[in-house]
Structure 1
Amino acid sequence: MSDLVMGTLEGFPSSREKAMINKLLIVEVPVSSMKRAIEFYAGQLGFFIDLKKNPPSIWEDSREVFMYPAEGIKIMLWQTEGTERLGFTRDGKPHHFLILEIVESAEVVRNKLMENGVKVGEISGEIADMGGCGRAFDVWDPDGNILRLCYRPS
């Protein structure tokens, strides 16, 4: 892979070596109930928890819990008093804030989540073909944060 990031644009880094930011470490997700959020992110989506750092005995009282995917960037659930959530509006509709790659087909995962009562939305009426990004659909966590789940077969 080339180290070229942006080509040559005066005043901006043009290579990875010149970039000030090395990598994205954590995405913080605001939640209103830590227990409910853990049940969703670990129980429904399959994130895992480092039990040495976050033993179950602290879940009710903790304001932050780290959640890990099989690989990639971890998320930190952050219990807030406010109602602010991650996301934005695009074309007049709420839009996802996080894109997650799933390990089973979009149909299998979508059906499992729906059977478990997770709010599942479609991008265009059904699971959407996103070209090189695979097949995708959106889900809502218990606090209304929108996530896009994508399946890209090998």
Structure 2
Amino acid sequence: MSKYIFHIATVEIPVSNLDRSVEFYVDVLGVEVEFKGEKNAMLSFQSKGVPTIFLVETEERNSLSFVNSNDRVEHSVIDFYTPSLKEFHESLQEKNVEVGPLNIYQEQGLGGFGFKDPDGNLLSACNVLHQGQ
């Protein structure tokens, strides 16, 4: 463990319309608004040790994702944890959120799926907990 860095404090996400994005993240992820200015907002899960989400309005049209050069699969840079993966997937579909296929490995029952925010930023949900989480 580093003697200087202890955890991720904040994940910053570029958005084109702050009000629309705040509404999306509050509705879809259930976060609370800690602060909202003209061009940025801090959102929180209200859980100890969990990073906050800082939405920053920008005119740049770069969305968050990258393509794995090995298998050409598009990846998100953020995975959100849910113990109710199938139910969350269905909830997003009911809200007309763009979602990818639900991938669950039957042997372990673990998996995930991708979904997009209003700006096309690729986000993911998974039911995998790692040591210390």
- Structure 1 residue 136 displacement after superposition: 1.2
Amino acid at match of 1:43: D
TM-score (norm 2): 0.81
- Write out the 4+ residue segments of structure 1 that deviate beyond 6 Å after TM superposition: 130-133
TM-score (norm 1): 0.71
Which of 81, 103, 112 is equivalent to 2:59? 81
Q: Distance in 2 between matches of 1:112 and 1:84?
A: 27
**1:24-82 deviation per Cα after TM superposition (whole angstroms, max 9, x unaligned):** 211110011111111211111211112xx33xxx5xxx211011124201110010011
SS of 1:136's partner is: strand
CA 1:143–1:108: 2 relative to 1, 3 Å: same
Higher strand share: 2
- Structure 1 residue 139 displacement after superposition: 0.7
SS of 2:115's partner is: strand
* Number of aligned residues: 125
Aligned ranges 1:99-118 → 2 under 5 Å: 99-103=79-83, 105-118=84-97
Percent of aligned positions with the same letter in both sequences? 27
Amino acid at match of 1:48: E
User: Any unmatched runs of 5+ in structure 2?
Assistant: none
Q: Which has the larger radius of gyration?
A: 1
- Structure 1 residue 117 displacement after superposition: 0.3
Q: Kindly indicate whether residue 131 of structure 2 is the aligned counterpart of residue 121 of structure 1.
A: no
Q: Contact 1:130–1:136 (CA<8 Å) still a contact in 2?
A: no
User: Any unmatched runs of 5+ in structure 1?
Assistant: 1-15
Aligned alpha-carbon RMSD (Å): 2.4
CA 1:102–1:73: 2 relative to 1, 3 Å: same
1:10 corresponds in structure 2 to none
Which of 116, 124, 127 is equivalent to 1:140? 116
